[in-house]
Amino acid sequence: MKRRIYLWLFLLAAPWVLQGQQLPQYSLYMLNPYAYNPAYAGVAGTLFAHGAYRQQWSGLRGAPESQYLDAHLPLFFLRGGAGIRLENDKIGAHRTTRAALHYAHHLDVGRAGLLSVGVGIGYIQYALDGGQLRTPDGIYEPGGVFTHNDPLFPEGRVVGAAPLMEVGLFFRQQYFELGGAVQPAYVPTLAITDQGAFRVQLVPQYVGMGSYRVQLSTQLLLMPSFLLKFDPAATQVEISTAFRWRENTFAGTSFRGVTSAARDAMVLFGGFKITEKISFFYSYDIPLSSLSNVQKGSHEILLRYDLGKPLIAGRLPPIIYNPRFLGT
């Protein structure tokens, strides 16, 4: 059974006709919109940094594992913000690594609105470890012969890399936020020629996010949110409800997959402040899909650093000359 699932994971992204993979899934998306949208860079008005680790479908061999590190901050002199994100996503024998730099330009809209337009440029690397693959006709002797007996399956590690571009929009009003992004908006074909005639084409992934804040009391805040991800092959919707108590305790739940065909998981999450600037969050996905019989759910950990104050002052106020000194 495990070998069959492992082979299925390979065929799902077979490099000779690879049409891309879904973006990594993060259940704590509402706590870090920058993980999906470059336009969020700097809009918080201070330095934010995050580190996340996700183990998806625990207990299933070859299941996805994802990690990322990011940081972003405002650039008041440019009326915008900048950020950096490093991400690693592993599925079975496949590994995708990204590194990107982002700039977002902020525009005031009305009296309390903010519109941000973000763009990112970076580098993406795709690697396939043929040593983890098995074929029905292959010969695999411990410490001896290792051959797939199939020219389409590499027996070693093959790597392809290319530049990429990301774009995004973000809008914030007093009580709600709405954003959308394309990751990657552009990336050329990744050609891998070391072993086999491989051609990797990553398909753009579209992301939409939104949240609303309701102040239930002076100490309790309600925050419903949603995450929409889609590409030409599939669409996934996640709806979440979270509560924040006294600015230092966070808890909520999500439901991923609206239709019966897309139903994936129910998510329980929570977190708290470790110090004034560092917070810890954890989520657990209760599986609801057809894979629930062969996996034990998904785990995700997120650490956040929040400086909590502007790095530098914003735009200087206009100079107002006192008439008493004009004649001196």
Percent of the chain with pLDDT over 90: 53
pLDDT at 5: 39
What confidence tens digit (pLDDT) does each residue in 290-313 have? 888 888 899 999 999 999 887 765
Average pLDDT, integer, range 52-58: 94
Average pLDDT for 215-234: 91
Please say whether the dihedral angle defined by the alpha carbons of residues 319, 113, 240 and 39, taken in this order, is positive or negative. Answer: negative
Strands (E), 130-156: 139-140, 146-147
How far is the C-alpha of 60 from the C-alpha of 294, rounded, in Å? 6
Write out pLDDT tens, residues 151-195: 777 788 888 888 999 999 999 998 999 999 998 877 766 666 555
Q: Quote the pTM value.
A: 0.84
The residue to which tokens 């086999």 are assigned: 196
pLDDT number for residue 323: 41
Q: Where are the beta strands (DSSP E) in the chain?
A: 48-55, 65-75, 80-91, 94-109, 113-129, 139-140, 146-147, 157-172, 176-186, 190-192, 198-200, 205-212, 214-215, 220-230, 235-245, 249-256, 265-273, 278-287, 298-306
Task: Give 105-119 pLDDT, tens digit per residue.
Answer: 999 998 889 999 999
Q: Which two tokens stand for residue 140?
A: 């695999």
Alpha carbons 24 and 38: distance in angstroms, whole number: 16
On the CB side of 131, CA atoms within 13 Å amount to 6
Q: For the segment 239-279, what is each residue's pLDDT rounded down to a tens digit?
A: 999 999 988 899 999 999 877 777 889 999 999 999 999 99
213, amino acid identity: R
pLDDT, greater one: 54 or 144: 54
Question: Tell me, what's the pLDDT at 322?
Answer: 42
Q: Print burial letters for 120-138: b (CB count within 10 Å at least 16), e (below 16).
A: bebebebbbbbeebeeeee
Domains parsed from the chain with CATH numbers = 2-309 (2.40.160.40)
Per-residue confidence at 316, pLDDT binned at 50, 70, 90?
very low
Q: CA separation (Å) from 190 to 15, 18, 124, 200, 284?
A: 9, 10, 9, 5, 35
Res. 79: pLDDT tops 60: yes
**Runs of H (alpha helix) within the chain:** 2-12
CA 235 vs CA 52, 64, 96, 258: distances in Å: 24, 19, 21, 10
